């Protein structure tokens, strides 16, 4: 089975990729936007390796590319209903879209970024996801305010200094403090990275200039973490 998606999220996960996008449906010579699709593998919590995502020309797909991928089936994960298991077929780029066109069509307006009874709003338990009858683990939203923060802190559990990339977003008057996993934002804003004694470095992003793809991670110790997978800035 083949699916075409426009890539709206491509984040890094332990040296591999988490990729997601909206399905592209071709009808009467026109492109129509369908549901979210998150292609996953059968290894590393579903992360996609560079060899699995490599296109016919040897390159990796980029943000806003339209890509044809082979899939086996929807894996029927109630907490990540967008997950489709990939086949071994090579991926093929079939086109691309502009930022303006996709943001105008795909920006969503959920009331809340996953209602939860948990004390910290950077995650949601599996039980709460099912209890509140959530039906999506990905949203493309426009924030009311957005501040990116980077710093290095000592991780006493792991025993080493750890780089932290966080984004504070305000959406429907609710503040969220979430990890940022977008490699392009990392390259654009976060280099050089502050050391352990350099404090916190902040970047206040004008909310009118961007939309944000927020996603839930796979379950870890009973919870799904909310992450900023992609920051889409206007040119």
Question: Which H or E run contains 67?
Answer: strand 65-74
Nearest Cα to Cα of residue 189 among 202, 170, 208: 202
Nearest Cα to Cα of residue 100 among 141, 64, 144: 64
Distance CA 142, CA 232 (A): 10
Task: Report the 10 Å Cβ neighbour count for 221.
Answer: 6
CA distances from residue 212 to 71, 127, 221, 228 in whole angstroms, order as listed = 26, 26, 26, 7
Distance CA 201, CA 53 (A): 33
Tell me if 215 sits within 8 A of 230, measured CB to CB: no
Say how many CA atoms lie within 13 Å of 208 toward its Cβ: 0
pLDDT score recorded for residue 30: 86
Q: What is the pTM of this model?
A: 0.93
Per-residue pLDDT of the chain (235 residues; tens, 9 = 90+): 999 999 999 988 778 999 999 999 999 888 899 999 999 999 998 999 999 999 989 999 999 999 999 999 999 999 999 999 999 999 999 999 998 888 888 999 999 999 888 767 899 999 999 999 999 999 999 999 999 999 999 999 889 999 999 999 999 999 999 999 999 999 999 999 999 999 999 999 988 889 999 999 999 999 999 999 999 988 6
Copy the structure tokens of residue 215. Answer: 């996603």
Distance CA 139, CA 142 (A): 10
pLDDT score recorded for residue 117: 82
DSSP-derived 3-state class of residue 106: helix
């Amino acid at each position: 089975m083949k699916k075409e998606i426009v890539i709206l999220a491509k984040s890094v996960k332990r040296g591999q990729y988490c990729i997601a996008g909206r399905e592209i449906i071709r009808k009467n010579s026109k492109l129509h936007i369908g549901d979210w699709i998150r292609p996953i593998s059968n290894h590393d919590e579903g992360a996609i390796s560079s060899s699995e995502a490599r296109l016919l020309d040897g390159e990796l797909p980029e943000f806003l590319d339209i890509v044809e991928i082979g899939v086996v089936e929807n894996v029927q994960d109630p907490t990540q209903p967008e997950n489709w298991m990939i086949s071994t077929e090579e991926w093929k780029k079939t086109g691309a879209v502009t930022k303006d066109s996709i943001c105008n069509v795909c920006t969503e307006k959920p009331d809340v970024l996953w209602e939860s009874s948990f004390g910290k709003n950077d995650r949601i338990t599996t039980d709460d996801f099912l209890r509140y009858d959530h039906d999506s683990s990905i949203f493309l939203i426009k924030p009311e305010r957005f501040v990116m923060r980077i710093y290095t802190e000592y991780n006493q559990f792991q025993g080493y200094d750890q780089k932290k990339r966080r984004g504070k977003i305000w959406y429907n008057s609710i503040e969220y403090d979430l990890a940022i996993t977008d490699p392009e934002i990392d390259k654009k804003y976060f280099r050089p990275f502050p050391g352990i004694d350099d404090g916190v470095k902040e970047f206040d992003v004008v909310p009118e200039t961007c939309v944000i793809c927020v996603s839930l991670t796979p379950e870890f110790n009973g919870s799904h973490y909310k992450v900023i997978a992609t920051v889409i800035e206007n040119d």
